[in-house]
């Protein structure tokens, strides 16, 4: 089974977490502190589920806003999946379908899609528009570390 590295924010130990523990809050094998829950795939969220999920995740959140009718969003989907895998254990990638979730689209003032928002503690740190390459998304993310 594949594993992902989740680095402990308290002691810096790299913990290997099996893929089947996705979404569960692990404990550091060294200091027993809470680890960020591992997510290695994008998590679909809605007007109903968004706030509780974001509140429960201590790390940075990349929120992609998209719609099923948008060809650029369909093209961007593979990149979003790839980025979620690359950032597994460091950040979570979430997806919001703006066609079904108008409250979130309005709240985050989404004017064009696909759009990526970087959130920390629920607040917008930056936005990235359009179907970018995974390299562009990752370097954009790392500029805000
Ligand atoms: Zn630790």
Helix then strand then coil, % of the chain, to nearest 5 = 30, 30, 45
Please check whether residues 70 and 101 belong to one and the same domain. Answer: yes
**Burial class of residue 131 (count of CB atoms within 10 Å of its CB; 0-12, 13-18, 19+):** buried
Please check whether residues 49 and 18 belong to one and the same domain. Answer: no
Please check whether residues 27 and 51 belong to one and the same domain. Answer: no
Ligand 1 centroid distance, CA of 93 (Å): 23
Ligand 1 centroid distance, CA of 25 (Å): 13
pLDDT at 36 (0 to 100): 95
Ligand 1 centroid distance, CA of 29 (Å): 7
**Burial class of residue 35 (count of CB atoms within 10 Å of its CB; 0-12, 13-18, 19+):** buried
- Containing structural domain, residue 3: 1-37
Please check whether residues 19 and 55 belong to one and the same domain. Answer: no
- With a CB cutoff of 8 Å and minimum separation 6, the contacts of 73 are 66, 67, 113, 114, 131
Please check whether residues 59 and 91 belong to one and the same domain. Answer: yes
Ligand 1 centroid distance, CA of 58 (Å): 15
C-alpha span between 25 and 30 (Å, rounded): 15
Count of structural domains, the chain: 2
Average the pLDDT over 8-13 and give the result: 95
pLDDT at 145 (0 to 100): 78
Task: With cut-offs at 50, 70 and 90, classify the pLDDT of residue 19.
Answer: very high
Query: Which secondary structure element, helix H or strand E, spans residue 143, and what is its range?
Result: helix 134-143
pLDDT tens digit sequence for 77-125: 999 999 999 999 999 999 999 999 999 999 999 999 999 999 999 999 9
What mean pLDDT, rounded, does the chain reach?
96
pLDDT at 45 (0 to 100): 98
Q: Please tell me the pTM assigned to this model.
A: 0.95
pLDDT tens digit sequence for 29-83: 999 999 999 999 999 999 999 999 999 999 999 999 999 999 999 999 999 999 9
Ligand 1 centroid distance, CA of 37 (Å): 14
CATH number of the structural domain spanning residue 122: 3.40.30.10
Q: Which residues are catalytic?
A: 70, 73
């Amino acid at each position: 089974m594949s594993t992902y590295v989740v680095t402990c924010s308290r002691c810096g130990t790299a913990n290997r977490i099996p893929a089947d523990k996705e979404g569960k809050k692990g404990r550091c094998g060294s200091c027993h502190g809470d680890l960020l829950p591992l997510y290695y795939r994008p998590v679909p969220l809605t007007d109903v589920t968004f706030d509780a999920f974001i509140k429960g995740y201590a790390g940075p959140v990349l929120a992609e806003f998209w719609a099923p009718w948008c060809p650029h969003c369909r093209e961007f989907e593979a990149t979003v999946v790839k980025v979620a895998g690359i950032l597994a254990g460091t950040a979570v990638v979430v997806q919001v379908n703006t066609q079904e979730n108008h409250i979130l689209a309005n709240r985050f003032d989404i004017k064009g899609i696909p759009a990526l928002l970087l959130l920390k503690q629920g607040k917008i740190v930056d936005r990235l528009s359009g179907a970018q390459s995974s390299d562009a998304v990752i370097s954009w993310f790392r500029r805000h570390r």
